[in-house]
Amino acid sequence: MFGHILNFKLKENKVFINFETGNAIIEVLSPSIINVFSPLKYDDHYSKAIENRTIEKCDITATNSDNHIEIKTEKLTVKIFDDFKVDFYDKMGNILCEDYRENREPFERRGNGYELLEKEGHKVDSQNGNHKIEIIKKMLGEEKFYGLGDKTGPLNKKGYGYEMWNTDDPSAHLESHKALYKSIPFFINLRKNSAFGIFYDNTFKTYFDLGKENSNYYYFGSDDGNLDYYFIFGPEFDKVITRYTNLTGKTPLPQMWTLGYHQCRWSYSPENRLMEIAENLRSNDIPCDALYLDIDYMDDYRVFTWNRNAFPKPQEMIQNLKKDGFKLVTIIDPGVKKDKGYSVYEEGLKNNYFATDKDGIPYVNAVWPGDSLFPDFSDSKVRNWWGNNVKSLMDNGVSGIWNDMNEPASFNGPLPLDVQFKNDGNPTDHSEIHNVYGHLMAKATYDGIKNSTKKRPFVITRACYAGTQKYSTGWTGDNQSLWEHLRMSIPMFLNLGMSGLAFTGADVGGFGYDCTAELLCRWNQVGCFTPLFRNHSTAQSRDQEPWAFDDETLNISRKYIKLRYKLIPYLYDLMWKGEQSGLPVMRPLVLHYPSDENTYEINDEFLFGSNILVAPILEQGKKFRAVYLPKGEWIDYFTKEKFEGERFIVKEAPLDICPIYIKAGSVIPNYPDQSYIGENKIDELILDVYPGNGEYLHYEDDGESFNYKNGEYNLYKFTTENSNCFSINIESLKSNYSAKYTSFKFIINATNATSIKLNDEFINFNTDGSKISFSIPAKNGELKILS
């Protein structure tokens, strides 16, 4: 590619290299993060994913070896050869990642009748062509690949090829789909207990092939943009995610209510239908925090308007819903109806806020409102304007915004690649903006909500790029009421989580097609552990609310929605911890057990944090399944049976049972029953304890404001130890939020006690089968369970 190395120079944290026909920069962002860059299109990064490019000061050397340049940090050695071949070694000299020196050699597709097949309507997969930028890495053996956002198919992406081009494909999502709504060009490579990640920060259409066309190498590439990727070393698996999110941002702590159950449908309209849903939720004793308005609440699909026939007094209606504990979330599409006199259109037009064709004429395509214009979210002025429009909805009392159709989707064919965007002074076209269109719309929405409410914004978006997690949650788009889609959602969530998006969810029950009673039961059992827990379905599909089938379905749905509410403080803790670590809520087993090969390909189980393992039933009629338990002792959540890990067990799971296991040594904070978050002030925190050795941090704050950023929160540490007797140490690490718990109610599972001491004084307790329980003031102390 670049010819011979001519010379190089180390300046601060960068090594500038001149080749015969190109130049490059190797930049050390930290001892474990190296940026490999060549300004093929632009002189700088202009990253849409990385907002705070922080450089960690560290020791760097760059020396000339006979045929290469050698750059060393405390953790890595990077060797750069002629033709800009780059190899990475750990400090012991083990190869981690090596550029492939041969040419690509794709397998051959044999057979005739290519045209006929296509004519007959078959999708014929063509070979990925050659690309202007191609980074080809040698397959060293035993690699597993994870990440890449919302791609379909199994957890481990080895042997598959994908594209990054945000796509709204209304057909049923299959393993063969190359792209869906999100483009997150980041993957993790795990080999022999040593992991690294690669983030290819390029927003043009991008290709990933992880050993599909040839098992000797894997590659990524694109036809435009810069050569710009980050090598992110672990070697620990979880550190790769932490470091990737140090670059692209963490999923922030949300308002607590957003973690409740959400009920949605296309569409709850008019107002009395919405109110009927609200009443049904309460009368059926289904806890719920959020209701949604899909596109029909608008006046003829004009964004930021209300259909006053269906919703005559939105503000009053929203206030009434709030009295009953419901928040309202409204959908917003990017397309602005081309319509004289409509203020959003007129204002956008006057200020040149819309994307244009090459002649500067606003580009028109059809979406729900008919002919529409597309806001140029690449421009900060437009984002501010959009944010102010969002503010008008928030001022009406709306609590969150749901961004749809922001790939962007369009009815009259896709937006041409030469549609023009202003891009804050670096004008460019759709080929560069497409994959960040939804990302930038989410940013505009986040900022608009934050400015108007001063609370933690709640945004849901369909299209994403790397880093969208800073602004928005993501849902997986138009799935269908198919068992296959329930099954597929699990590796999808896990890979999204490893790609930085900790707050995701799928339409529970399935969007397209008609749900069945059994499918809804099993889907709620998964939804219970999905950070975004929203039941949603399309227009014309059968009703899919928990009461829409029969009593059994209602009871089972209620059981798991209530379990979710019980686990809210645990989930909230995970979000708070995730804001620092970047670790997702739903985790593949490999994330915590990367040296256990049995975990590498588990597609149908996941960890909810590190303490809870969920092994849902994902097939119709199935009443049992094999469950893999990793190292350690695990306790069946419902039966309290104990199991030693590192083995498979068979678990019976009638329709009302989702197999759940708690790691010994866990302290799981629980809330009492509530119909919505904040219904009651929680004075007594319940601590569900599973004896063993462990440590747990519990976080408490006001659940909505940014005051926690100024230290207004409480932090409790629970340390459990199982030696002579089982003991729990309670320690307050921080105590700056004043409305705090007054007492702790401990439930200690799978334990017998003759007596219990708190700081050496005997206390009263109840015994119930193999469980004991007692309440104590919420203070520091040492508990001893004596048996």
Tell me which residues touch ligand MIG (CB under 6 A): 266, 294-295, 331, 404-405, 462, 477-478, 511, 536
Q: Measured in whole angstroms, how far is the alpha carbon of residue 572 from the centre of its chain?
A: 15
Which residue type, as a one-letter code, is found at position 553? T
Tokens of 154: 């199994």
> Whole-angstrom Cα distance, residue 280 to residue 265?
14
Catalytic residue among 478, 507, 518, 701: 478
User: Do 360 and 366 form a contact (C-beta atoms < 8 A)?
Assistant: no
Using DSSP bridges, classify how beta strands 612-614 and 606-608 pair: parallel, antiparallel or unpaired: antiparallel
In whole angstroms, the minimum distance from the beta carbon of 333 to ligand MIG comes to 7
By beta-carbon proximity to ligand MIG, the closer residue of 409 and 730 is 409
Q: Output DSSP code: residue 158.
A: T
In whole angstroms, the minimum distance from the beta carbon of 168 to ligand MIG comes to 8
By beta-carbon proximity to ligand MIG, the closer residue of 188 and 506 is 506
Catalytic residue among 27, 296, 404, 605: 404
User: Is the peptide bond prior to 773 cis by the omega test (within 30 degrees of 0)?
Assistant: no
**Residue ranges of E strands in 234-315:** 261-263, 290-293
By beta-carbon proximity to ligand MIG, the closer residue of 147 and 477 is 477
Could you tell me which of 707, 747, 662 has the C-alpha nearest to residue 454? 707
By beta-carbon proximity to ligand MIG, the closer residue of 456 and 462 is 462
> Which single residue brings its beta carbon nearest to ligand MIG?
266
Tokens of 452: 């108007």
H/E stretch holding 86 reads strand 85-90
Rounded to 10°, the helix 271-283/314-323 angle is 0
In whole angstroms, the minimum distance from the beta carbon of 334 to ligand MIG comes to 12
By beta-carbon proximity to ligand MIG, the closer residue of 30 and 258 is 258
User: Do 429 and 418 form a contact (C-beta atoms < 8 A)?
Assistant: yes
In whole angstroms, the minimum distance from the beta carbon of 294 to ligand MIG comes to 5
Gyration radius from the chain CA atoms: 27
What are the angstrom distances between the C-alpha of 756 and each of 239, 432, 787? 40, 65, 9
By beta-carbon proximity to ligand MIG, the closer residue of 333 and 604 is 333
Burial code (b: 16+ CB inside 10 Å, e: under 16) for 669-703 equals bbbeebbbbebeebeebbbbbbbbebebebbbbbb
Per DSSP, the three-state class of 365 is: strand
Tokens of 598: 């049995």
What are the angstrom distances between the C-alpha of 734 and each of 576, 580, 743, 777? 14, 17, 16, 17
Provide the greatest CA pair distance for the chain.
Answer: 85
In whole angstroms, the minimum distance from the beta carbon of 300 to ligand MIG comes to 14
In whole angstroms, the minimum distance from the beta carbon of 298 to ligand MIG comes to 10
Rounded to 10°, the helix 517-527/551-566 angle is 0
Could you tell me which of 417, 340, 332, 428 has the C-alpha nearest to residue 41? 428
Question: Is 404 an annotated catalytic residue?
Answer: yes
In whole angstroms, the minimum distance from the beta carbon of 474 to ligand MIG comes to 12
Question: Is 407 an annotated catalytic residue?
Answer: yes
Distant-in-sequence, close-in-space partners of 119: CB < 8 Å, separation ≥ 6: none
In whole angstroms, the minimum distance from the beta carbon of 292 to ligand MIG comes to 9
Question: Is 478 an annotated catalytic residue?
Answer: yes
Catalytic residue among 134, 407, 573, 701: 407
By beta-carbon proximity to ligand MIG, the closer residue of 536 and 663 is 536
H/E stretch holding 367 reads strand 364-367
In whole angstroms, the minimum distance from the beta carbon of 110 to ligand MIG comes to 39
By beta-carbon proximity to ligand MIG, the closer residue of 76 and 460 is 460
> Whole-angstrom Cα distance, residue 364 to residue 410?
10
By beta-carbon proximity to ligand MIG, the closer residue of 510 and 582 is 510
Per DSSP, the three-state class of 95 is: strand
User: Do 385 and 334 form a contact (C-beta atoms < 8 A)?
Assistant: no
Residues recognised as catalytic = 404, 407, 478
